[in-house]
Copies of this chain bind each other. A is one copy, B any other.
Amino acid sequence: MAEIRIGMVGYAFMGKAHSNAWRQVSHFFPGVGQPRLQSICGRTRAAVERAAAELGWASVETDWRKLVTRDDIDVVDIVTPGDSHAEIAIAAARAGKHVICEKPLGNNASEARAMVEAVDKAGVRNMVLFNYRRVPAISFAKQLIEEDRLGRIFHFRAQYLQDWIVDPKFPRLWRLDKTVAGSGALGDLGAHIVDLAHFLVGQVEAVTAQTQTMIPERPLPGKPEQLAPVTVDDSAQFLGKVGATTAAFEVSRLATGRKNCLMLEINGSKGSLRFNLERLNELEFYDRTQPERLQGWNNILVTQKDQPYITHWWPDGHILGYEHSFVHAMADFLASLQGNQPVRPDFKDGLACNAVLDAVEASAQSGAWAKVAL
Residues of chain A at the chain B interface (Cβ within 8 Å): 13, 16-17, 19-20, 23-24, 27, 30, 53-56, 140, 154-155, 157, 159, 161-164, 166, 208-210, 212, 214, 234-235, 237-239, 241, 244, 246, 248, 250, 252, 254-261, 265, 267-272, 278-281, 284-288, 292-301, 303-304, 306-307, 314-324, 367-369
Contact = CB atoms under 8 A, between A and B. Distances in A.
Nearest to A314: B322
A314 B17 contact: yes
A357 to B, nearest CB: 17
A367 to B, nearest CB: 5
Nearest to A247: B237
A155 B235 contact: yes
Contact of A288 (B257, B284, B285): B257
B278 A317 contact: yes
A256 B278 contact: no
A209 B162 CA distance: 25
Contacts of A24: 20, 24
A155 B252 contact: yes
A27 B154 CA distance: 39
Contacts of A320: 321-322
Nearest to A154: B254
A367 B367 contact: no
A215 to B, nearest CB: 9
A210 B367 contact: no
A210 B23 contact: no
Contact of A256 (B162, B241, B271): B271
A41 to B, nearest CB: 19
A270 to B, nearest CB: 7
20 contacts: A16-B314, A23-B27, A24-B24, A154-B255, A154-B256, A155-B254, A166-B288, A209-B239, A210-B239, A210-B241, A235-B246, A254-B269, A256-B286, A260-B315, A260-B317, A293-B304, A297-B298, A298-B298, A314-B323, A321-B324
Contact of A164 (B16, B244, B307, B315): B315
Contacts of A261: 317
A318 B314 contact: no
A208 B370 CA distance: 13
Q: Interface centre among A24, A239, A285, by most B CB within 10 Å?
A: A239
Given A257-B286, A296-B299, A210 B208 contact: yes
A146 to B, nearest CB: 14
Contacts of A19: 27
Name, among A157, A162, A296, the residue most crowded by chain B CB atoms within 10 Å (CB to CB): A296
Contacts of A295: 257, 300, 304
A252 B235 contact: no
* Ranked 3 nearest A-B pairs via Cβ: A259-B317, A260-B317, A257-B286
